[in-house]
Amino acid sequence: MEKYFKKDMIGVLMMLLSAALFSFMALFVRLASKTMPVGMIVCVRYAFSVLFFIPLIAMKQIKIRPVNHRLLLYRALAAGFGGLFYFLAIANISLAEAVILKYTFPLFAIAVSAIFYGEKTGRLVIFLLLWSFIGVFVMMNPNSFSFRIGYVWGILNAVSAGAAVAFLRKLRATDDSTTTTFFTAVAGTVISLPMLLIGLQIPTVSESVLLLSASIMGLSAQYVLAYGMRFIKTGAASVIMMVEVVIASVLGFSILGQIPTIHQLLGGAMIVLGGAVLIVRQGNNKAKKI
């Protein structure tokens, strides 16, 4: 691919493709959740990744080299639980809402970094934190609010994803992306196994297609993202990835008939804007340090 595109363009294209793949994964998860237990969908998604890795490890095509075992465990658990919460959110609220809530994760990443690593939090970050939570409040439309558990799952997913990102920032100094991805898949499988007790069924042909599609899309999105990150800065990549909100909204509207309300559009715009400003600010700070 380097022969045909400039490096900067490769990074942009890979981020857009990754966002599209993650959006289609969410769509297939939502469709599968109509007739199948979410715990089973999550377990299949992570187990598929583990089974994908095992032959490659056995043939020595890839190597798993854990170095910082404790931090690797923290990151794997945070990402594993995050995946579970995300799938639960997708099953209970619209695709757009689930994806929008996911993109509050930069704020929680800042909070985790401050708690665990003592990183200072400026006034702008605090303002953006409040701004984004106001966006969540607006999106839920307090005038006609009816509690839905999906909102809880969505926020828990953002908290878990934020922690996973904060841990990953430190983990990059010792462990490669293949190792962290493999341990996340293992952790996700272990975490979701108990949920099979709630409901386990033999999938039909159509359900199997949905499960396989969601798993392939999720794994492909991770690899495209990892490949693209070689050609683009983290801040720019994160902002471009927010196009996932748009793609998921279009899929939800065109395929699932999920029509966003004015409150969801306004609140979602506030959340995405807050996250984008924060990501750009972090990127600029890193550039100055360099």
**Does residue 105 sit within a domain?**
yes
Helices (H), ranges, 118-242: 123-139, 149-171, 177-192, 205-228, 234-241
With a CB cutoff of 8 Å and minimum separation 6, the contacts of 69 are none
Helix axes 234-241, 205-228, angle to 10 degrees: 150
Distance of CA 233 to the CA centre of its chain: 18
pLDDT: is 131 or 33 the higher one? 33
Instruction: Give domain status of residue 224, yes or no.
Output: yes
Residue 2 within any structural domain of the chain = no
Residue-number span of the structural domain to which 103 is assigned: 7-289
Domain contains 11 = yes
Q: How many structural domains does the chain have?
A: 1
145: left (phi over 0), alpha (psi -120 to 50) or beta: beta
pLDDT at 244: 84
Residues 78, 237, 118: CA angle, nearest 5 degrees: 50
Query: In this structure, what token pair is assigned to residue 151?
Result: 């909102």
Give the model's pLDDT for residue 287.
44
Other Cβ atoms within 10 Å of 265 Cβ, number: 15
pLDDT in tens, 19-48: 899 999 999 999 999 999 998 999 999 999
Please identify which residue in the block is written with the tokens 């430190």.
170
**What is the residue whose two structure tokens read 């309300």?**
261
> How far, rounded to the nearest angstrom, does the alpha carbon of residue 256 sit from its chain's CA centroid?
21
Q: Which residue has the tokens 């490659």?
A: 56
Structure pTM?
0.82
Residue 1 maps to a domain: no
- On whether the CB atoms of residues 88 and 150 are closer than 8 A, the answer is yes
Span 169-219, pLDDT tens digits? 788 788 888 888 899 999 999 998 888 777 677 889 999 999 999 999 998
As given in the structure block, the two tokens for residue 230 are 């070689």
The mean of the pLDDT values for the chain is 82
Question: What span, in angstroms and rounded, lies between the C-alpha atoms of 268 and 265?
Answer: 5
pLDDT at res. 286: 47
Poorest-pLDDT segment among 147-156, 195-204, 240-249: 195-204
Q: Does 133 map to a domain?
A: yes
Q: Tell me, yes or no, whether 228 lies in a domain.
A: yes
Q: Amino acid identity, residue 38?
A: V
